[in-house]
Amino acid sequence: MSTFLGMDIGASSIKFGWGNGNSLQHFSSIPIKSKNLESFKQVAAAVLKTAEQTIGLKNISAIGIGSPGTIDISTGKISGVNPNLPFWTDYNPAELIPSSLNVPVFCDNDANLMALAEAKHFGSRYALGITVGSGIGSGIILDAKIYRGSNGFAGELGHVCMVQDGIVCSCGRKGCLEGYASVDGIRRRLAEDNADFATMALSELLTRPDSNVHKHLAEGKAMLELAIVNIVTLLDIDIVIIGGGAMDAKMYNLESMKAEIELLLPVANQGKVRIEQAFYGNQAGVIGAIQLAKQGL
């Protein structure tokens, strides 16, 4: 059976592992020392060295890479604004792998790969995967495949406009869901009145007895629920899988979200949509990258 290498690029580390597309045989991560291209290349080289020493690169049939940012289908390059990793824009993640390896490399947005892995786990062919953390990422699975749209930019739930002429998002637009419902978005709003919130740990923020905190959290949750309902209504999704650090920290109560979403759905969709906590946690991107490599090959 073929073996595939998966890599999940993050702002602070590159997670990686290998498997056959059905099971994960190895999982690990290597921290990124500096947010620059050279550091990315060094970590990618270390990943390949580990794979060579453990299973041999000659035994890898294909490589999948998940990356933050939107990937242009026509060029394979990261396109648009990438606020957490600005140096990573206009770069093809596949270039991290030396062409001399002569191994096929397939790349996609990291949230798309989370959705791919989670949808397969839950047995769904029509799924919406969402990660709630410093930002909001999402991926759409239609007929068991990632839906990328005409250019590769589909699935950016965090940047749908929820408030006309609303607050400025990190992407530069106004009123994005991410500006209201993500951890950083809520921090920025709170910091307008109290600068202490700008760098406050999420665990402390969530236990702060402050009416303003509760107000912004409730508003963010309501906006996320409405955005989910709109996508489900538009695409007839049968499962919404929600993960990410903020959900792990219980920033939003999943059971409450289920109840509110059910009330907001059109009658035709009620009782037909599952809302689930993500199963794979921080391994989802690597598992999805492995599955992407297998599908691409």
CATH number of the domain where residue 7 is located: 3.30.420.40
Residues 127 and 221 in one domain: yes
The whole domain housing 203 covers: 123-278
**102 and 231 inside one domain:** no
Task: Tell the residue number behind the tokens 């030396």, with chain if given.
Answer: 98
Q: For 194, which DSSP code?
A: -
Query: Cβ atoms within 10 A of the Cβ of 45, count?
Result: 14
pLDDT at 82: 78
Q: Does residue 228 sit in the same domain as residue 195? A: yes
- The domain tally of the chain equals 2
Residue 86 pairs with which residues in a beta bridge? none
DSSP lists the bridge partners of residue 174 as: 168
Report the distance separating Cα 268 and Cα 64, nearest Å: 38
Query: What are the residues facing 4 on neighbouring strands?
Result: 19, 62
At residue 1, the pLDDT reads: 77
Same domain, 102 and 137: no
In this structure, the answer to whether residues 20 and 47 fall within a common structural domain is yes
Domain identity same for 183 and 167: yes
| Same domain as 135, residue 101 | no
Do residues 75 and 42 both lie within one domain?
A: yes
User: What is the model's pLDDT at position 223?
Assistant: 98
User: What's the confidence (pLDDT) of residue 80?
Assistant: 83
Do 127 and 243 lie in one domain? The reply is: yes
Instruction: Give the three-state DSSP class for 267.
Output: helix
| Residue 170 confidence (pLDDT) | 87
183 plus 39 within the same structural domain: no
The whole-model pTM stands at 0.94
Return the pLDDT at 265.
Answer: 97
Residues of the chain with pLDDT under 50: none
Do 220 and 265 fall within a single domain? yes
Which residues are within 8 A (CB) of 117 and not within 5 positions of it... i.e. 6 or more apart? 280, 284, 285, 287, 288, 291
3-state secondary structure of 68: coil
The 10s digit of each residue's pLDDT in 262-281 is 999 999 999 999 999 999 99
Identify the sign of the CA torsion 100, 39, 154, 245: positive
* 144 and 41, same domain (yes or no): no
